[in-house]
Every structure is written in structure tokens, then in C-alpha cells.
Amino acid sequence: FPSCFSGGWWVFDLGKNRGLRCDYYAVRHDGTNNFPRNWELQGRVDCEGEDAADAPSGGITDQSEESVRWISLSKHVNDNAIHEPGAWGSWSVPTDLSTPPVRWLRLVSTGANAGTEGQGRFHLCSVEFYGLLTGG
């Protein structure tokens, strides 16, 4: 897998003029035997003039100008919290007062999953984000 992106990703847009200072999140696995093990939670601040049509893509490389706008919120390496089909996992997100509220949240697969099929995919069926919501 490339160090910057392995193929599977999810992007969530909270909407124009909204931001979340995420301090906790939970995901539910989709029920297959391909459990996520390596991923990163990232956030992106709302940029002036952008709307849903300008939503940032999930599959960008570290070398692109676009990737500079993403903030790493939480990294997982060989995380085996999700080990059964349909299981929930939850994690705190280390934040401080300098962490800005973000409009977009992105989960990016950064390495191999458990299971032989579905490599390069991020198998989830539900995601919940918690924290301080700002704006409209």
C-alpha cells in the first residue's frame, strides 16, 4: 500500500458554516470478515467559497496541495478493536483548544485489513461523531 492512501475511504460533510471539534467517534463494521486494522481519521476546515459540490475527494496523495488542508485527528495501526462481523468500535480523539472545528471528516484506510478479500476497501455500515458542534 502507498504510505499516503490505500484505496478505501469515507468522507462526511457537516454542511456549510458548520464545524465539529471531534473528541470521540464510533464505527460499526458491515458484517463481512474484512475488519479494518489501519486507518486515519482526518478533518478539514471549511474553506471560504466551498460548498457540497466542492467536497474534497478521499483519494488524494500527500504530495498534492489539496492534502495540506487535511488535519490528522487520530491514527490507527494494527487496531484490532473490531474483530467480529457487525461489531462496534469507539475511540477518543485527542484534541486541545488549538484544534479547529472541521466541516469535513474523512476516514482513510492506510494499510492492510484483516481478511483476504476487500483489501483497499473500508468496510463500515455506520459512523457516529461526537464533540462540540459549531455554526448553523
Q: How far apart are CA 49 and CA 72, in angstroms?
A: 23
User: Digits of tens for pLDDT over the chain (136 positions)?
Assistant: 344 445 688 999 999 999 999 999 999 999 888 889 999 999 999 765 555 445 555 544 444 555 558 999 999 999 999 999 999 999 999 887 778 899 999 999 888 888 766 566 788 899 999 999 998 6
Q: What is the pTM of this model?
A: 0.81
Q: What is the pLDDT of residue 99?
A: 83
Q: What is the pLDDT of residue 66?
A: 54
Q: How far apart are CA 109 and CA 124, in angstroms?
A: 11
Q: What is the pLDDT of residue 67?
A: 53
Q: What is the pLDDT of residue 34?
A: 86
Q: What is the pLDDT of residue 81?
A: 94
Q: What is the pLDDT of residue 57?
A: 57
Q: How far apart are CA 21 and CA 24, in angstroms?
A: 9
Q: What is the pLDDT of residue 61?
A: 45
Establish how many alpha carbons lie within 13 A of residue 111's alpha carbon, considering only the half-sphere containing its beta carbon.
Answer: 11
